[in-house]
């Protein structure tokens, strides 16, 4: 990357030790399980997927869990299972990954974005309420960075207007709200096991639901619209004919992916503790710097600590956000941006006429935010390098 050299002296880390943003902790148990899976000859959807679904269902204390090959797929199928039809409006946050909005469009719905609360950076229930019309059918809260959305307010809004609630839990594997696991509060919870997420399978996702018929519909849609028994048709119980009952998708998870996830999930708590520790260290180190820091978690919630984001305001920090990103990279520290407001992207501007100024909180955050490395894999030395690089990238 072409970066202007904006500091004197050597970078905080040498180039050959570049700290990759979001690099996951992968341990021997995953490696061994993947090798066993390959040697078994059963690579596709099979016993390991079934076990991962059951383990994840139990971890989230959900009634049903269906594994798929991404959170994007999980969101798409949840929209369909929720009954979203062409012309139906679905409200979500302006501060999210594009996949949240794209899944609404894939399902034939019309996305409507609402602004965030500047403190929590989550969907502002009051702004969401202002954007409800007679065509609104669902609402998609995103538990940003792992911080629980205001599910009481959003739940009341949904109840008042008869809306389905589809939780985007891509950041929220460990999140709890008033004692309830994220993903089990709404009608559907959609999780991601992408490489940077809190539990990884490489690519992968999960839908959790409370109703058996919703899980059954998701499962059929995830595999070409074939009847349930199709999942077992190559098993040892004799050939099973399948029937296609609707036009589905190819969204099933493989056993190779589940082989990784089973062991990752066993370490979800120690990994969460390590990331919590790193967040505490960042909070202490940055307290006196001219930066915006994440708000404390709300009472009676559990933050999943998926992202640690700081706000770099040029007037205070002495460096603009993009210059700050360049400097961190020149110090060989990988950084991320979560996210530029959805309304900044040309596709949505052209198709829906959205303008960043209409979502001022998301716009301001999106133009100042920087995500720092936050992985259970980071050593204490890595964390101190990040802190040193932040200090030296200001001014």
Catalytic residues: 197
Residue 147 near residue 365, CB atoms below 8 Å: no
User: At 369, phi and psi to the nearest 5?
Assistant: -80, 145
- Of 21 and 242, the one with the shorter C-beta distance to ligand PLP is 21
User: Pick from 72, 332, 340, 361: which binds ligand PLP (CB under 6 A)?
Assistant: 72
- Of 140 and 383, the one with the shorter C-beta distance to ligand PLP is 140
- Of 12 and 77, the one with the shorter C-beta distance to ligand PLP is 77
- Residue 201 found at the interface with ligand PLP (CB under 6 A): no
CA atoms within 13 Å, Cβ hemisphere of 368: 22
Residue 137 near residue 163, CB atoms below 8 Å: yes
Name the segment binding ligand PLP (CB under 6 A); options: 29-37, 40-48, 67-75, 121-129. 67-75
Residue from 253, 308, 263 nearest 284 by CA? 308
Q: What track of x and - describes contact with ligand PLP for positions 143 through 172 (by CB under 6 A)?
A: -------------------------x-xx-
Sheet arrangement for strand 301-302: 180-181, 176-177, 301-302
Shortest distance (Å) from residue 21 CB to ligand PLP: 13
**Looking only at residues 76 through 135 of this chain, which bind ligand PLP when binding is defined by CB under 6 A?**
96-97, 99-100
User: Pick from 65, 67, 71, 319: which binds ligand PLP (CB under 6 A)?
Assistant: 71
User: Pick from 110, 120, 192, 252: which binds ligand PLP (CB under 6 A)?
Assistant: 192
- Residue 186 found at the interface with ligand PLP (CB under 6 A): no
Q: How far is CA 140 from the centre of its chain?
A: 13
Residue 90 near residue 111, CB atoms below 8 Å: yes
Which string of DSSP letters, residue by residue, matches 228-245?
A: GGGGGTTSSS------B-
Shortest distance (Å) from residue 116 CB to ligand PLP: 13
Q: How many helices (H) and strands (E) does the chain have?
A: 14, 12
Shortest distance (Å) from residue 220 CB to ligand PLP: 20
Name the segment binding ligand PLP (CB under 6 A); options: 70-78, 156-164, 269-277, 318-326. 70-78
User: At 188, phi and psi to the nearest 5?
Assistant: -140, 145
- Residue 205 found at the interface with ligand PLP (CB under 6 A): yes
Q: Which helix (H) or strand (E) holds 218?
A: helix 212-222
Q: Report the interface residues with ligand PLP, using CB under 6 A.
A: 70-72, 96-97, 99-100, 142, 168, 170-171, 192, 194, 205
């Amino acid at each position: 990357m072409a970066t202007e050299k904006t500091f004197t002296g050597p970078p905080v880390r040498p180039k050959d030790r570049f700290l990759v943003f979001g690099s996951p902790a992968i341990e021997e148990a995953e490696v061994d399980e993947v090798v066993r899976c390959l040697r078994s000859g059963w690579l596709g959807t099979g016993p390991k997927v079934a076990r991962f679904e059951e383990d994840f269902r139990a971890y989230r204390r959900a009634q049903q869990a269906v594994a798929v090959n991404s959170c994007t797929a999980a969101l798409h199928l949840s929209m369909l299972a929720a009954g979203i039809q062409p012309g139906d409006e679905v409200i979500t946050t302006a501060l999210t990954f594009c996949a949240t909005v794209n899944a609404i469009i894939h399902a034939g719905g019309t996305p409507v974005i609402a602004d965030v609360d500047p403190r929590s950076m989550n969907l502002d229930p009051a702004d969401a309420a202002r954007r409800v019309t007679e065509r609104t059918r669902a609402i998609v809260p995103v538990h940003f960075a792992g911080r629980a959305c205001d599910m009481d307010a959003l739940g009341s809004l949904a109840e008042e207007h008869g809306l389905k609630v589809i939780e985007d839990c891509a950041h929220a594997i460990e999140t709890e709200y008033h004692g309830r696991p994220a993903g089990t509060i709404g009608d559907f919870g959609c999780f991601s096991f992408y490489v940077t997420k809190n539990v990884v399978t490489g690519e992968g996702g999960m839908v959790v639901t409370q109703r058996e018929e919703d899980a059954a519909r998701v499962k059929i849609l995830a595999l070409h619209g074939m009847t349930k028994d199709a999942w077992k048709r190559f098993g040892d119980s004799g050939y099973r004919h399948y029937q296609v009952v609707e036009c589905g998708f190819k969204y099933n998870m493989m056993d190779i992916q589940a082989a990784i996830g089973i062991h990752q999930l066993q370490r979800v708590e120690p990994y969460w503790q390590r990331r919590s520790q790193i967040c505490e260290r960042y909070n202490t180190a940055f307290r006196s710097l001219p930066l915006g820091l994440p708000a404390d978690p709300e009472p009676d919630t559990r933050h999943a600590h998926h992202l640690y984001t700081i706000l770099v305001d040029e007037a205070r920090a002495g460096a603009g956000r993009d210059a700050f990103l360049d400097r961190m990279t020149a110090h060989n520290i990988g950084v991320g941006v979560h996210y530029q407001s959805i309304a900044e992207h040309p596709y949505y501007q052209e198709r829906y006429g959205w303008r960043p100024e209409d979502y001022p909180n998301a716009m301001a955050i999106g133009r100042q935010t920087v995500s720092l490395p936050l992985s259970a894999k980071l050593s204490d030395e890595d964390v101190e390098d990040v802190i040193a690089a932040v200090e030296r990238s200001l001014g």
